[in-house]
Amino acid sequence: MSRKVVRTSKFRHVFGQALKADQCYDDIRISQMTWDSNFCSVNPKFVAMIVDASGGGAFIVLPLSKTGRIDMSQPTICGHTGPVLDIEWCPHNDNIIASGSEDCSVMIWEIPDGGLTVPMKEPVVKLDGHSKRVGILSWHPTARNVLMTAGCDNVVILWNVARGESVVRIESVHTDMIYSACWNRDGSRILTSCKDKKLRVFDPRKGTVLMEKDKPHEGSRPVRAIFVSDGQILTTGFSRMSERQVALWDPNNFSEPLNLQELDTSSGVLLPFFDPDTGIVYLCGKGDSSIRYFEVTDEAPYVHYLSMYSSKESQKGMGYMPKRGLEVNKCEIARFYKLHERKCEPIVMTVPRKSDLFQEDLYPDTIGPEPSVEADDWFSGKEGKPILISLKDDFVATTKNKEFKVIKSLLSTPSASVAQGHVNGGDLQSLQKEVKELREMVEQLTKRVSQLES
């Protein structure tokens, strides 16, 4: 009789936890638009949310530390003449944000370091090229100043933001509204999902279709698609019976999905967020009150359900913090910013660990803020691989460990010289004196630690 073996995974016990009320952002009138975008974008400095505005469109930008109740007079960014549909922080400059609106324009804004003190109406750059509302924005992951936008005119445009001009226009390919558009990890491919029930993979500079998949999901409701590890594609959509599904595809063999799972019968569109460092994909449904997470691996059945974070209130939108903005010393592997009717609530995903040391397996080198290629070079054909950074530099051990390490390094110096036999009478006296001072220091630090712990 064979026993079923439970698959081992270090992420089996990932748990989500909402932060306390005083660490939320309260009294914000989140936009009532029915558009299926995230409505929120975050980076290690700021959180930005699309808000209700009379006579145009606006969004609010707050420093991460400005928690609590937000004053009604908090200045907004209000340069659009129609409602804002999507916002996206630049991955290479934490002060630059792009916004797309119903007024057919895309605007680039530069936020001062401390946040806004007066309303901002004039963008740094205004990009005009769409004939209908612009609902999808995505910055290039490795090339500086390259922005992709997609509008309800069924056109995808790649912009050189520094020059304020459109360089590539992908038109007359999509025959209906574009539901999602994203880059792969190094920005050498674009993936779109469309209302004409097709997935398309493009060469971004030529604008040519490399691969196409008809009906990844049978249902008529919106499909979302993202690249995951090794160039595979993960889609969320609906079955013919309107059940929500998640599927994994190999672009080299689009005939059958590697994995297809049915989840539930809710009507909200599932927004996928993928973490390439851990291989975890998070599914946040619009109007849901839960976040499901799965691990994508290279062994069948490829997509493994891990767990679900549930709360009482439904989410109107969701922001996802880049890896370099997480608290590494708390074993935090993801942080979401969940939008309610009137507030924004951070939700932290952690892997419980007993050790206080830096967890190498949870934090492999991740994409840093440095671009690897300039816009002009990229458009002329130069590829840019992501420049990775280690998160170990941001790691801060607990007080006890930190002080112990300092003492250890001080103690190691004299003992090494003793071992090498370089000690004469005068040196011995100075060593004894130094050891005495060190002992006193240890006693003081031990008292300090016990005071802090109590």
Which of 127-136, 180-189, 293-302, 420-429 bottoms out in mean pLDDT, i.e. has the lowest?
Answer: 420-429
Query: In one letter, which amino acid is 62?
Result: L
CA dihedral 375, 252, 322, 397 (to 10 degrees): -120
Residue 410 has pLDDT above 80, yes or no: no
Closest CA to 342 of 118, 32, 91: 32
Residue 346 has pLDDT above 50, yes or no: yes
Rounded to two decimals, what is the model's pTM?
0.84
Q: Which residue has the higher pLDDT, 161 or 411?
A: 161
Residue 404 has pLDDT above 70, yes or no: no
Q: Which residue has the higher pLDDT, 338 or 441?
A: 338
> What pLDDT, in 10s, does the model give residues 231-268?
899 999 999 998 999 999 998 888 999 999 999 888 88
CA distance 140 to 321: 17
Predicted confidence at residue 398, as pLDDT, reads: 41
Which of 50-54, 388-392, 447-451 bottoms out in mean pLDDT, i.e. has the lowest?
Answer: 447-451
Q: Find the mean pLDDT for residues 93-118.
A: 94
Domain with residues 15-394, CATH architecture? 7 Propeller (2.130)
Long-range contacts of 22-26 (CB under 8 A, 24+ apart): 22/67, 22/68, 23/67, 23/346, 24/67, 24/68, 24/343, 24/344, 24/345, 24/346, 25/49, 25/62, 25/66, 25/67, 25/68, 25/70, 25/343, 25/344, 25/345, 26/68, 26/69, 26/70, 26/342, 26/343
Residue 137 burial (CB < 10 Å; 0-12/13-18/19+)?
buried
Q: Where are the domains of the chain?
A: 15-394
Which of 279-283, 339-343, 419-423 bottoms out in mean pLDDT, i.e. has the lowest?
Answer: 419-423
Predicted confidence at residue 447, as pLDDT, reads: 84
Cα–Cα distances (Å) from 323 to 98, 138, 169, in that order, read 20, 17, 31
> What pLDDT, in 10s, does the model give residues 277-318?
999 999 998 889 999 999 999 888 899 999 999 999 999 999
What DSSP element (H or E) covers 344?
Answer: strand 343-350
Residue 416 has pLDDT above 50, yes or no: no
> What pLDDT, in 10s, does the model give residues 129-152?
999 999 999 999 999 999 999 999
| DSSP one-letter code for 411 | H
Q: Find the mean pLDDT for residues 365-372.
A: 93
